[in-house]
Amino acid sequence: MLSTVLELVDERGWFDTATPHEKAIHLTRGHCLWMLLSRGGKLHTHVKFSDCLSLEVEAARCAAASRSYPELAPRFVGYARHRGIDILVSSAVESAAIDPMTFGDQLPPGLADYFSAMPRARAAADAAATANAALLEKVAHYFEAHPLAALARQWLEPSRLGPIADLATMPQHGDFVLNNLGRLPTGRLVVFDWEDYGAVSLPGLDLFTLELSLADRRGLAPARGRAADRPLAREACAAMGLPQSDYDRLMPLYALVFRYLKRNYGPEVRERMDAEITGLAGAVLA
Amino acid sequence: MDLRHPYSDPSARVQLLYRLPTAPAPRRLLVVAESPELRSEVAAGWGSGEVMACDSAGFLRLATERSDCFDAVALPSTLSARAASRGIRNGHLLRAACRLLTPGGVVVGHLEHARALRRLKRPSAVVQLIAAAFDGDAICGPTGCCRLLRQAGLAAGECYYVQPHMHSPMGLVPSEAAAARAHFLRAVRSARHHWRASGHVVRLALCWAGLGGMLQGELFFWARRPC
């Protein structure tokens, strides 16, 4: 499998495998592997590959993210399918994890840019049809036969949720959590893992997941109450042009959409998220 | 098998590692292991192609009778960090693999890492490591592994640290000094919240000194018989 991947990467001119290099190979619990190609320890190219599932949609999403956020997303290099193996290549970047304790209440510079660019961002073609109203239907349908059905019905009650058809559509990263953010040696912010980019265009979802992961990593309870009382949420809403009142009322939907996006993840992740959502009941309905 | 998560099972990931180095068609595999469970585990993940399995004594006998008849030879836990384990030398096993492989065929396997800190907690392991340093047949680390592969007539040898362990592998870390150092530093820094401050500092210091490989208990290798 590895020779096929390396030959293709070399043939397409994405990485010269004839020059000395090193490989770090990472397995996942899903359906793919990824490999970091480096020279003298310096990261160069990120190769994701699978012999089980197509990476074509993911490649289109990564390419769209790379176009919409050239300063924040790793550069998309290419996609190919050869001898039953799907290969998705992007540039590899050296970055450090972000310490949640140093995050502060204000949006750091790169994040402010992310939220302010969001209204102009464009998703890949496959995501164009996912309008907010259609998303609501899909989510409601998904939770019909789910252990969280009763909670979902309560949260999605139209009188509680309010109208969503007239909300702006802004492609969301879909897994905008602290683990997917990093800081380059230059101090610039980088955002990884764009495989769900544009699958959802519900404005505010990324802010919700960011707030959730920040609270989790700081060992705090999930944010509750009005966005107006939280400087980070207030600033991000202003950057996106999303009314704070909309962000507040959509919190139950954000929680369910986040879980819906993880529906194809492994049982461990799904069960952990179900427990988290149950724990959120107090916060999102506050 | 869960089609969306074929690698959620640790055993499936072990099998995947053994399929990583591409074997030429028709992909006839010989699995050599002392443990019947290991032989079955690796053989089960091979997919299309013939599979044969035996222990190392049977393997050495086979190599005296036949040659050029397998496209891949798997050695799960067959080579030893110690010199002359069970009276069988690592060099003999690798030369036998080279003889049985077709040109371009691949030998692939894993073994215990003799310099792993966890292992060196045992005084007997320290004594074995010292003895191994004076024995050209012992495999103390990735460099020794690649040297033995070359000496056996195999080419394009590569050796990696297994992360975190072969019971449930999640990655292969390159053993080249600069790449290994950079990788382990990245890994320890990004997992800062997993350990207490003291544990984090110790791991960071080891990685800074280029000794991050000592945190890993197993090595994974492959090489090819030259065409």
Q: Which residues of chain B lie closer than 8 angstroms to A23, CB-CB?
A: 172, 174
What's the pLDDT score for residue B181? 95
A22 to B20: CB separation less than 8 angstroms, yes or no: no
What's the pLDDT score for residue A2? 93
Complex confidence, ipTM:
0.90
Q: Which residues of chain A lie closer than 8 angstroms to B170, CB-CB?
A: 26-27
Q: Is residue B2 part of a domain?
A: no
What's the pLDDT score for residue A130? 62
Instruction: Indicate whether B132 pLDDT > 90.
Output: no
B181 to A27: CB separation less than 8 angstroms, yes or no: no
pLDDT in tens, chain A (286 residues): 899 999 999 999 999 999 999 999 999 888 899 999 999 999 999 999 998 889 999 999 999 999 999 999 999 999 999 988 999 999 999 988 887 877 777 788 789 899 999 998 888 776 544 678 888 889 999 999 888 888 888 888 888 888 887 888 899 999 999 989 998 989 899 999 999 999 899 999 999 999 888 888 877 776 666 777 788 899 999 999 999 999 988 888 898 999 998 887 777 778 888 887 887 776 655 5
- Region B97-118: mean pLDDT is 94
CATH topology of domain A100-284: Aminoglycoside 3'-phosphotransferase; Chain: A, domain 2 (3.90.1200)
Q: Is residue B214 part of a domain?
A: yes
What's the pLDDT score for residue B209? 92
What's the pLDDT score for residue A1? 86
Q: Is residue B179 part of a domain?
A: yes
B182 to A38: CB separation less than 8 angstroms, yes or no: yes
What's the pLDDT score for residue B32? 95
Question: By the CB < 8 Å criterion, does A38 face chain B?
Answer: yes
- Region B13-38: mean pLDDT is 92
For residue A48, give how far its alpha carbon lies from the nearest alpha carbon of chain B (Å): 13
Question: By the CB < 8 Å criterion, does A177 face chain B?
Answer: no
Q: Is residue B5 part of a domain?
A: no
B20 to A53: CB separation less than 8 angstroms, yes or no: no
Q: Is residue B1 part of a domain?
A: no
CATH topology of domain A2-91: Phosphorylase Kinase; domain 1 (3.30.200)
Q: Is residue B47 part of a domain?
A: yes
The whole-model pTM stands at 0.88
What's the pLDDT score for residue B128? 82
Taking only the tens place, the pLDDT of each residue in B175-206 is 999 999 999 998 888 877 778 888 889 899 99
The Cα–Cα gap between B27 and B32 comes to 16
Q: Is residue B31 part of a domain?
A: yes
What's the pLDDT score for residue A97? 83
What's the pLDDT score for residue A116? 93
What domain range includes position B135? 10-224
- Region B84-111: mean pLDDT is 89
Question: By the CB < 8 Å criterion, does A7 face chain B?
Answer: no
B174 to A97: CB separation less than 8 angstroms, yes or no: no
Domain positions in chain A: 2-91, 100-284
Q: Is residue B58 part of a domain?
A: yes
Question: Cα–Cα–Cα angle for B41, A264, A224, nearest 5°?
Answer: 130
Question: By the CB < 8 Å criterion, does B224 face chain A?
Answer: no
% of chain B residues with pLDDT over 90: 63
Q: Which residues of chain B lie closer than 8 angstroms to A42, CB-CB?
A: 182
- Region B73-77: mean pLDDT is 95
Phi-psi region of A163 (alpha: psi -120 to 50; beta: other; left: phi over 0): beta
Q: Which residues of chain B lie closer than 8 angstroms to A99, CB-CB?
A: 192
Q: What is the CATH classification number for the domain harbouring B146?
A: 3.40.50.150
Of B4, B160, B181, the CB nearest to A31: B4
- Which band of pLDDT confidence, cut at 50, 70 and 90, is reported for residue B3? low
Number of separate domains in chain B: 1
The Cα–Cα gap between B16 and B14 comes to 5
What's the pLDDT score for residue B111? 94
